Structure 1
Amino acid sequence: MTRTSRIGILTVSDRASAGVYQDLSGKAIIDTLTEYLTSEWQPVYRLVPDEAREIERMLEYLVDDEECCLVITTGGTGPAIRDVTPEATEAVCDRMMPGFGELMRSESLKYVPTAILSRQTAGLRGTSLIINLPGKPRAIRQCLDAVFPAIPYCIDLMEGPYLKCNPGVIKAFRPGG
């Protein structure tokens, strides 16, 4: 029997969490993953303000309680004073995966020179991968297109669920196959 993968989607935004505007970024992540994945998966969506402790608690909840194999955050990765998502991510992770942020910034530089201001990162908590994405829906897709091919294999290495992708949309890289 195939296990349904649980994937956390965490939007970090003062204004969206206060209801000032609709969260388009979280929806963009869900829409993108729906295109990418052919295996069964369930989004676990949450929205929090730009408060380090709230972000940390929600990341812990998504990994430890909801058992998400992957948590993708959006927002709070820039240089603004309230942008604290990378610090919150690092605080809850056992090990960091800097290659994800490096690749996302490199990819984003093809589109905007301000990509160097982004502080996206990724890390591992237990058997889960947490990835920080920027807050703009178009940048979310650009970044996910760049890093997602490595994500299913990373989840495999952590003995998580097998994420099967639609090869017409995105090709997961798994050595030897």
Structure 2
Amino acid sequence: MIEIRTRVAVFASGAGTNFEAMMTSRDRNFDVVMLVCDKPKAHVIGKAAGFGVETVVLDPNTFSSKEEYEEDILKRLKRANVQWIVLSGYMRIVGKTLLNGYGDKIINVHPSLLPSFPGKDAVGQALEAGVKVSGVTIHYVDEGVDTGPIIAQEPVTVFPNDTRETLQERIQQVEHVLYTRVIADITKQ
């Protein structure tokens, strides 16, 4: 019997640590068939090449509008028969074009326990607020910034001597395991 695996596109803008964790996880029961990146010099591009994943690098500034940029991406996703979009350090707000094309099939990972500390620099926000617990949230993407329905959360203790780097590292360790597990669970439904 042939196993049909869900086809996933990962959207990323940076180092690609979550991308790499997904690709090397034994829990992965889905196929990452495309990387979409908006930063031509992002490290994730080299990681995708190393895994033989098709990479689409598009600079949003070369398009006349956000809609045109997303329409180009949408055409590529449909051509590759992508079923789910997984945001992984993608530093752009997803617009109506992609939301209309993929509806409830777009998820994101965020380095806090939402609704606390949405948006950029969640780790810095947590440290400034002096909280004792931060964490990781996996959520569906909607029109807002980190406002979609929550799928899973896991706490991470904030220690008194934490820096942005030490807390970010511990949060990423949790992300690497939790995100792949959640993707595997929701894509098999």
TM-score (structure 2 length as normaliser): 0.43
TM-score (structure 1 length as normaliser): 0.45
Which structure is higher in RCO with an 8 Å CA cutoff and minimum separation 6? 1
Bigger fraction of residues in strand? 2
Bigger fraction of residues in helix? 1
Kindly name which structure, 1 or 2, has the bigger radius of gyration based on alpha carbons.
2
